[in-house]
Amino acid sequence: MSKITAAITAVGAYVPEYVLTNEILETMVETNDEWITTRTGIKERRILKDPDKGTSYLGIKAAEDLINKSGVDPSEIDMVIMATATPDLLVASTASYVATKIGATNAFSYDLQAACSSFLYGMSTASAYIASGKYKKVLLIGADKMSSIIDYTDRATCIIFGDGGGAALFEPNEEGLGLQDEYLRSDGVGRDFLRIEGGGSLMPPTAETVANKKHFVYQDGKTVFKFAVSNMADVSERIMQRNNLSHDDVSWLVAHQANKRIIDATARRMQLDDSKVLMNIQRYGNTTSATLPLLLNDFEKRFKKGDNLIFAAFGGGFTWGSIYLKWAYNA
Ligand code: UT7
């Protein structure tokens, strides 16, 4: 019997309607379009304005888009993984709620949190379950309502993040397509540079933590940038080398959308032509767990069966890594 690999067989996505442009941000904090564009590549982001809706809403809409496009019967899904840094609630799994709402009534489900690397790590998890032979349909959703944890008076973070969700279905493949190799890393030295200090077990919420804005994202951008540039480029180069891939062999770079300059640096190290570097940061900003599936959904029609995709991500923790996947279908 040939080896089972895990292929992506369908994708879907959702972004909220409200568009927060650089021009609007200029009226909220001391910033300007020129600074944001040249330092990050971002022009606008989407924000989920409805206060009654959480990350599950983004995940449900993305999964429903996938289900509608692919025709997959949700009752046949074995497992739902929800990659997110902004669960609806603490303790109660967001994945379980999403699975029930989309009709994945026979699935088991759980959340996976690795900051901006959540979806990348989730790809590894989904693939391992498929490759084990035990499960046939694993739905991986990446969604974040970043606006729920951003301080819109802090210009260092509010210009970067946006809300969104995306989904990918993993199924067994016997033609050798799908996930080929992965190189995943983490290093706890990073925990102080990108984090929310309050609300966890180290600093439970109090009136004081709220007053001192301890429940918002803090980022030492310069330090994170430095680690992100070198580490994302290192792992992407390494995964190419150990799979004997030249820059000609790589069809697409699917990189976490945190900063255009970080993506460009990774592409340069891989000696990739710009035309192979997928980019939608200008429209969505950094949607954390949703960046990779939003790219897959936006560029799905350009992918051909057999294309070599290199995924790369870097995020809080620190967490980072690269995955080599062969695309399995023509849209
Ligand atoms: O997704 C998870 C991983 N995250 C990342 O990969 C993000 C990594 N970091 C970055 O992308 C960048 O560090 C930022 C985009 C966050 C910041 O860009 P930077 O080029 O590193 O800027 P900086 O923080 O070094 O600030 C440069 C200057 C400072 O002024 P002075 O001290 O040089 O006078 C800042 O005060 O720019 C100022 N500045 C701003 N100016 C206008 C900072 N934020 C803004 C702003 N608008 N929004």
Render 153-205 in DSSP notation, one character per residue: T-HHHHTTB-EEEEEEEEEEESSS-EEEEEEEEE-GGGGGTEE--SSSSSS--
Are both 26 and 152 inside the same structural domain?
A: yes
Residue nearest to atom 46 of ligand 1 (CA): 31
- For residue 281, is it within any domain? yes
Are both 139 and 267 inside the same structural domain?
A: no
Which residues does residue 173 pair with via DSSP β-bridges, in sequence order? 5
Residue 288 sits at φ, ψ, to 5 deg, of 55, -105
Are both 310 and 170 inside the same structural domain?
A: no
Are both 132 and 228 inside the same structural domain?
A: no
Which residues does residue 80 pair with via DSSP β-bridges, in sequence order? 109, 139
Are both 275 and 132 inside the same structural domain?
A: no
- For residue 129, is it within any domain? yes
Residue nearest to atom 48 of ligand 1 (CA): 155
Are both 58 and 141 inside the same structural domain?
A: yes
Are both 234 and 141 inside the same structural domain?
A: no
Strands 79-83 and 108-112: parallel
Last residue of a domain, one of 122, 149, 176: 176
CA–CA distance, 257 with 34 (Å, rounded to integer): 19
Domain that holds residue 261: 179-326
pLDDT at residue 1, rounded to an integer: 54
**Tens digit of pLDDT for each residue in 188-211?**
999 999 999 999 999 999 999 999
Last residue of a domain, one of 145, 176, 207: 176
Are both 9 and 133 inside the same structural domain?
A: yes
pLDDT at residue 3, rounded to an integer: 86
Tell me which residues have their CB closer than 6 angstroms to ligand 1: 31, 35, 39-40, 116, 155-156, 159-160, 221-222, 224-225, 228, 258-259, 262, 286, 314-315
Last residue of a domain, one of 176, 199, 217: 176
Q: How many CA atoms, within 13 angstroms, populate the side-chain half-sphere of residue 59? A: 33
- For residue 331, is it within any domain? no
**What total number of domains does the chain contain?**
2
Alpha helices (H) in the chain, listed in sequence order: 22-26, 33-40, 55-70, 94-101, 118-131, 155-158, 207-211, 221-242, 260-269, 281-284, 291-299
Are both 32 and 171 inside the same structural domain?
A: yes
Query: CA-based diameter of the chain, in Å?
Result: 62
Are both 11 and 83 inside the same structural domain?
A: yes
- For residue 10, is it within any domain? yes
CATH number for 35: 3.40.47.10
Task: Show the low-confidence residues of the chain (pLDDT under 70).
Answer: 1-2
Are both 301 and 316 inside the same structural domain?
A: yes
Are both 41 and 189 inside the same structural domain?
A: no
* Helix, strand, coil share (%) of the chain residues, nearest 5: 40, 25, 35
Residue nearest to atom 30 of ligand 1 (CA): 156
pLDDT at residue 303, rounded to an integer: 98
Q: Which of 256, 280, 297, 308 is catalytic?
A: 256
Decide: 109 and 82 in contact? Cβ < 8 Å. Answer: yes
